[in-house]
Amino acid sequence: MANPETLAAVPIYEGMWAQSPGPYQEVSPGVSTDIQAALHRILPDLHQAISAIKQAAGPKDLQAGMAEILTLVEEAWVMPTVGREVAKGLCDAIRLEGGLDLLLSFLQSADLETKCQAGKLLEQILVAENRDRIARIGLGVILNLSKERDSPPLAQSTSGILEHMFKHSEETCHQLISDGGLDAILYWCRWSDPVVLRHCATALANCAMYGGQANQRLMVEKRAAEWLFPLAFTQEDQLIRFHACLAITVLSTNKEIEKEVERSGTLALVEPFIATLDPGQFACTLLGSSDNSQGRTGDDLQRLVPLLDSSRLEAQCIAAFYLCVEATIKARQKKTKIFTEIGAIQSLKRIVCYSPNGTTSSLAKKALCAMGEEVPRRLLPTVPNWKPLEVQKWLQQIGFVRYCPLFLEHQVDGDLLLWLTEEDLKGDLGMDSSITRKRFFRELTELKTYANYSTCDRSNLSDWLGGVDPKFRQYTYNLVTCGIDRNFLHRVTEQQLQEDCRVDIGFHRVRILNAAREMLHSPLPYSNGKSTLEGTDVFISYRRLSGSQLASLLKVHLQLHGFSVFLDVEKLEAGKFEDKLVQSVMSARNFVLVLSSHSLDKCMEDTECKDWVHKEIATALSCGKNVIPVTDHFDWPDPEKLPADMRAVLKFNGIKWSHEYQEATIEKIIRFLQGRSSRDSSAGSENSLECGTPMGQT
């Protein structure tokens, strides 16, 4: 493992550019006329700013020179259509003239303003080649910088630099995780600075997408899945929520850590959030942010395709949305060909045809329209019940129109289609070409994999097979029509699977049978030995408008201390909300009440108890729960203004939440959770908070 201290040694800046060429770099003749013109206009100013930094007499001159370069780069990034190419040209020029090395030396300066200005500039110029340079000679400097966690201005640029470096390679991700870079990001996840939180959410998404499975395991071990919850739960910034949802979704597609990711509770936030977004408006939001002003590169978008092909609904949903947004951006730039190059078109068409989720299917349709592609018709999912006419439509859709007459002549319906063999295609249906037959079976396998077998699959064998491996769903109809269900599968032999059920691949047969026998002998699942009837340790009540961030932070802190926590999210609002709400409060052992600014205003004069927070408080008091108020910018109201059934909550001394002393606050809450009542207790006074290590957050 490389030592950050040894990596921190970089050349000092005096004379760093002394050997750089006097005139600015010539523009390559291979670039377009518009890009050439822009670079010819900007590069002289860039070179002049570089010269000014070389001749700087002190920190103020250095900061002014870096600010001028930063302005040039930022203006280039937001140029219509050619912004990415122009900005990359400037970033390359800075690197070729030794600028990256110089900035690394500035980041080691004792002057905080110089360090912050250097961080801002470095964050803006970390294109792929510059990330390579930093990974080779400057990762230790960045890691040392990440240890200075409690300076808000420095945290903004450092978190942005880490966001970019997590995209570099699996090896770089591993070093950043091992030497404290990920720890810094997770530490900042509890802050309230939207700039820092945006960088944190995107850094975690990049680490998940570019880090590979081994680093995803390390992320889960460091509890990244839990710390993504407050980012995905925030009500204030859609970009933070989106990248947090992207990060948790990518982690969930790793089968080795899928269950641990699900237990964090963060994954449940993804699909409801995406369903609330409008792709066109979100595209405008992305274009308005400095980090996304030109949309994503082909390499970035390529990594979304496996999510489209995943068996997880959340993965398909967020990937379809992201591609829909990017298609809107690329259509304006006339660069939609990129989606064909990365292989996204076919996956989107498959989702339109087969996805049972309306949100995902609708997003895939919008994406295809924005890309200028033909949108296929949705197929009836219950393939076993297809009539010959549905089979004809499917043949037309997959490009096998010439074989429609023979399929119709033989009255091939859904049942026959699912049982077709190579001999049937060649002998009866006129497919003489072996390549054509392979193409057909590729389409048929996909149809079998995504079909709905509910009309004939009473034991839900299809979902069980999909749980073993998503592609094993293709064998559902063969097994079901042979009279096999989940309860009988462990009795089936490998020979029967091959000869009767036509599971021709030997390795697939072995995996199915092994999974069936493991299911037979596995004990019933349980959670920490607790009965579900016991309920959770803590129910958190909060006002969604002003208290969601604190509520989500409390959830994560308490979970990391071993408590089970119930926190209402949007999905609970469907169905009989009031019944679920009352049951959840009654079954919890403790009731933590988040009192944020004006959180009880709606309770005043709520004589019919229609307000949800009012209902939660009244239920907790009537059941004698251990009520622990946690206040944040909250003014206690006049008791007479509150309904009688909740006035008793004012008799409990609130614990004042401190962003600077979060651990100390949590320790106090835990003491009450472990059996000490906060009613009239001096230990719960807002003015009795013990001192602890400050977080540096303002």
Asked if residue 166 lies in contact with residue 176, where contact means CB atoms within 8 angstroms, the answer is: yes
From 227, 135, 209, 210, select the one nearest 179 (Cα to Cα). 135
Is 616 one of the catalytic residues?
Answer: yes
Asked if residue 240 lies in contact with residue 204, where contact means CB atoms within 8 angstroms, the answer is: no
- Strand pairing of 565-567 and 590-595? unpaired
Cα 355 to Cα 630: distance, rounded to the nearest angstrom: 44
Please give the torsion angle defined by the CA atoms of residues 594, 595, 599 and 600, in that order, rounded to the nearest 10 degrees.
Answer: 110
Q: Is 148 exposed, middle or buried (0-12, 13-18, 19+ CB in 10 A)?
A: middle
Please provide the distance, in angstroms rounded to a whole number, between the alpha carbons at the two ends of the chain: 35
Which residues have C-beta within 8 Å of that of residue 568, sequence separation ≥ 6?
581, 584
**265: region left, alpha or beta (phi > 0 left; psi from -120 to 50 alpha):** left
Asked if residue 359 lies in contact with residue 316, where contact means CB atoms within 8 angstroms, the answer is: no
From 139, 56, 123, select the one nearest 91 (Cα to Cα). 123
**What is the maximum alpha-carbon separation in the chain?**
89
Residue with tokens 């609904």: 313
The residue from 5, 616, 640, 686 that is catalytic is: 616
Asked if residue 152 lies in contact with residue 659, where contact means CB atoms within 8 angstroms, the answer is: no
Cα 467 to Cα 311: distance, rounded to the nearest angstrom: 9
Q: Is 256 exposed, middle or buried (0-12, 13-18, 19+ CB in 10 A)?
A: exposed
Beta bridge partners of 652: 679
Cα 182 to Cα 189: distance, rounded to the nearest angstrom: 11
Q: Cite the active site residues.
A: 616
